[in-house]
Amino acid sequence: MSRISRRAFLTAAGAVAASAWLRPGVAAAATITPGDADVLLVIDVQNCFLPGGSLAVTGGDKVVPVINTLANRFRNIVVTQDWHTPGHVSFASAHPGAKPFDMAKLPYGDQVLWPDHCVQGTAGADLAAELKLPTAQLVIRKGYHHELDSYSAFNEADGTATGLAGYLKERGIRRVFAVGLATDFCVCFSAIDARKAGFEAFVVDDACRGIDAEGSLAKAWTAMTAAGVQKIVSADIA
Ligand code: VGL
Ligand code: ZN
């Protein structure tokens, strides 16, 4: 096993089995201790995605205390906000005759049409009031181009960079720990794009909730696993 692949192996969710095998008789610790090269990426924990919001994610509010606790472990925290123009191209209301969750063919590809959500400067676009991230260092807003959506914190739907990869690289970050809403859309696209940009990527499953429209959650996990995104739980981080 090369040094690189052994390190990747040891940090994987399967680290218990791996280290027990490498050091027989030694109790294996799967714990990840975040350091200077790690960032907690808190995705779209905004009122519109919480129960009662216009694009409510079931149990979306449940991620808040988990993320608040995780935040104590990280020196680097970046937050994202979905930040759409009124009448944004991703809204069903912008397409005559369309209903929420219909698909549309747009110049950059297939687009799910959503209920109006996270309109710039509205209360729905505010971060959840209970989210406590006083040490967060950067807020990335995305989806603000009227004719273009951006699920990912790294790249808009046509591939345009948001600048986050450059920011993280200049800060010496190597591992991205993604949490928030929704697992199968913005968390998934962000984690996969983190891999594409050369970061190690982890999704902290109990700090996320999915929309799960027509099997989208299972599909998202298949895609994330194929991209080398590692699924962990918050108890793995201490
Ligand atoms: C999201 C759908 C539309 C998300 C954002 O944050 O996962 N999903 N806009
Ligand atoms: Zn959106």
Inform me whether the pLDDT recorded for 111 exceeds 60.
yes
State pTM to two decimals: 0.88
Q: Is residue 106 part of a domain?
A: no
Atom of ligand 1 nearest to the CA of 90: 3
Is 1 within the bounds of a domain? Answer: no
Residue 93 lies in a domain: no
pLDDT value, residue 187: 98
Active site residue 186: yes
- Residue 139: its pLDDT value, please? 98
Task: Please report which confidence band the pLDDT of residue 153 belongs to, taking 50, 70 and 90 as the band edges.
Answer: very high
The residue type at 108: Y
What integer is the mean pLDDT of 102-116? 97
**Which residues, including other chains, have CB under 8 Å from residue 201's CB and lie 6 or more apart?**
175, 176, 178, 191, 192, 194, 195, 227, 228, 229, 230
- CB burial of 17-32 (b: ≥16 within 10 Å; e: otherwise) equals ebbeeeeeeeeeebeb
CATH number at residue 148: 3.40.50.850
Chain mean pLDDT for the chain: 91
Nearest CA to ligand 1 atom 6: 186
Task: Report if residue 115 sits inside a domain.
Answer: no
Q: How many Cα atoms within 13 Å fall on the side-chain side of residue 234?
A: 18
Report yes or no on 172 lying in a domain: yes
Q: Looking at residues 33-60, what average pLDDT do you find?
A: 98
Counting the structural domains of the chain, the total is: 1
The answer to whether residue 27 is domain-embedded is yes
Confidence of residue 12 (pLDDT cuts 50, 70, 90): very low
Answer yes or no: is 30 within a domain.
yes
Q: What is the pLDDT of residue 30?
A: 72
Q: Which atom of ligand 1 sits closest to the CA of residue 82?
A: 5
Q: Which atom of ligand 1 is nearest to the CA of 143?
A: 9
Per the residue annotation, which of 142, 184, 205, 208 is the catalytic one? 142
Q: How much is the average pLDDT of 167-186? A: 98
Is it the case that residue 8 has pLDDT exceeding 80?
A: no
Distance 234 CA to ligand 2 centre (A): 26
Distance separating alpha carbons of residues 54 and 78, to the nearest angstrom: 24
Q: Measure 148 CA to ligand 1 centroid, in angstroms.
A: 13
Distance CA 21, CA 108 (A): 47
Which structural domain range is residue 212 located in? 6-83+123-236
Query: Is 105 domain-assigned?
Result: no
Residue 171 has what pLDDT? 98
Q: How far is the CA of 84 from the centre of ligand 2 (A)?
A: 7
Categorize the per-residue pLDDT at 7 as very low, low, confident or very high, splitting at 50, 70 and 90.
very low
